[in-house]
Amino acid sequence: METAEDLGERKIIELILKQLEPMPNMPVPFGDDVSAIDIGRGKLIAVKTDMLVGKTDMPHQMSVQQAARKAVIMNISDLAAKGIKPAALLVSIGVPRGFKKRDIIQIGEGLNQGAREYGAYILGGDTSEASDLIISCAAFGVGEKRRLILRSGAKPGDFVAVTGFFGKTAAGLRLLLQNLKAPTALKRTLVDSVLNPQARLREGLALASTDALTASIDSSDGLAWSLHEILRASNVGFLIDRLPLAEEAEQIAKLHGLDPVELCLYGGEEYELVVTIKPEKWKKVCEQVHLIRIGRVTKEKSVIFKQGKKTLSIEARGWEHFKTSLSDTMTLTRRHGSK
Amino acid sequence: METAEDLGERKIIELILKQLEPMPNMPVPFGDDVSAIDIGRGKLIAVKTDMLVGKTDMPHQMSVQQAARKAVIMNISDLAAKGIKPAALLVSIGVPRGFKKRDIIQIGEGLNQGAREYGAYILGGDTSEASDLIISCAAFGVGEKRRLILRSGAKPGDFVAVTGFFGKTAAGLRLLLQNLKAPTALKRTLVDSVLNPQARLREGLALASTDALTASIDSSDGLAWSLHEILRASNVGFLIDRLPLAEEAEQIAKLHGLDPVELCLYGGEEYELVVTIKPEKWKKVCEQVHLIRIGRVTKEKSVIFKQGKKTLSIEARGWEHFKTSLSDTMTLTRRHGSK
CATH of the domain at B204: 3.90.650.10
Whether A152 is in a domain gets the answer no
Check CB contact of B234 with chain A, cutoff 8 Å.
Answer: no
Residue B330 has pLDDT above 50, yes or no: no
Farthest CA pair distance, chain B: 59
Same-domain status, B170 and B306: yes
Residues B213/B288, Cβ–Cβ less than 8 Å: no
**pLDDT 10s digits, B229-268:** 999 999 999 999 999 999 999 999 999 999 999 999 999 8
Same-domain status, A290 and A257: yes
Query: What pLDDT does A52 receive?
Result: 97
DSSP state of B22: P
Residues A195/A62, Cβ–Cβ less than 8 Å: yes
Check CB contact of A149 with chain B, cutoff 8 Å.
Answer: no
Same-domain status, B56 and B190: no
- Nearest to residue A20, comparing CAs of B121, B88, B134? B121
Same-domain status, B247 and B122: no
User: Angle, nearest 10°, between helix axes A201-208 and A64-81?
Assistant: 10
In chain A, pLDDT over 70 holds for what percent of residues? 94
Same-domain status, B286 and B188: yes
Residues of A in contact with B111 (CB under 8 A): 16, 19-20
Is residue B337 very low, low, confident or very high in pLDDT (cuts 50, 70, 90)? Answer: very low
Whether B152 is in a domain gets the answer no
Rounded distance between C-alpha atoms, residue A263 and residue B92, angstroms: 28
Whether B154 is in a domain gets the answer no
Same-domain status, A235 and A323: yes
Same-domain status, B205 and B317: yes
Rounded distance between C-alpha atoms, residue B100 and residue B95, angstroms: 10
- Look at chain B and report how many structural domains it folds into: 2
Whether A153 is in a domain gets the answer no
Residues B246/B166, Cβ–Cβ less than 8 Å: yes
Rounded distance between C-alpha atoms, residue A79 and residue A236, angstroms: 23
Whether B293 is in a domain gets the answer yes
Is residue A329 very low, low, confident or very high in pLDDT (cuts 50, 70, 90)? Answer: very low
Cα angle A175, A181, A185 (rounded to 5 degrees) comes to: 85
Residues of A in contact with B4 (CB under 8 A): 95-99, 104, 129
pTM score: 0.94
Rounded distance between C-alpha atoms, residue A13 and residue A175, angstroms: 31
Is residue B321 very low, low, confident or very high in pLDDT (cuts 50, 70, 90)? Answer: low
Residue A68 has pLDDT above 50, yes or no: yes
Q: Do A101 and B15 touch (CB under 8 A)?
A: yes
- CB neighbour class for B151 (10 Å; exposed up to 12, middle 13-18, buried from 19): buried
- Between positions 75 and 94 of A, the ones with CB within 8 A of B are 87-88, 90-94
Of the residues A12, A93, A109, the best mutation for testing chain B's interface (the one with the most B CB atoms within 10 Å of its CB) is A12
Residues B314/B265, Cβ–Cβ less than 8 Å: yes
| Range with the poorest average pLDDT among A191-205, A309-323, B53-67 | A309-323
Last residue of a domain, one of A125, A147, A169: A147
**pLDDT 10s digits, A129-140:** 999 999 999 999
B310: Cβ–Cβ under 8 A, 6 or more apart, which residues?
Answer: none
Farthest CA pair distance, chain A: 59
Whether A300 is in a domain gets the answer yes
Same-domain status, B98 and B173: no
- Between positions 298 and 337 of A, the ones with CB within 8 A of B are 321-322, 325
Whether A61 is in a domain gets the answer yes
Q: A51 is in which domain, residue-wise?
A: 4-147
Radius of gyration of chain A (CA): 19
Last residue of a domain, one of A103, A123, A147: A147
Whether A42 is in a domain gets the answer yes
A7: Cβ–Cβ under 8 A, 6 or more apart, which residues?
Answer: A15, A322, B101, B104
pLDDT (average), residues B34-53: 96
Residue B291 sits at φ, ψ, to 5 deg, of: -125, 150
**pLDDT 10s digits, B76-108:** 999 999 999 999 999 999 999 999 999 999 999
- Between positions 245 and 304 of A, the ones with CB within 8 A of B are none
Q: Check which CATH number belongs to the domain holding B89 and give it.
A: 3.30.1330.10
The CB-side HSE value for A1 (13 A sphere, CA atoms) comes to 10
Last residue of a domain, one of A102, A121, A147: A147
How many CB atoms sit inside 10 A of residue B69's CB? 27
Report the b/e string of B270-308 with b at 16+ CB within 10 A.
Answer: bbbbbbbbbeebeeebeeebebebbbbbbeeeebbbeee
Same-domain status, A176 and A97: no
Residues B111/B156, Cβ–Cβ less than 8 Å: no
Same-domain status, B218 and B136: no
Same-domain status, B22 and B81: yes
Same-domain status, B180 and B319: yes
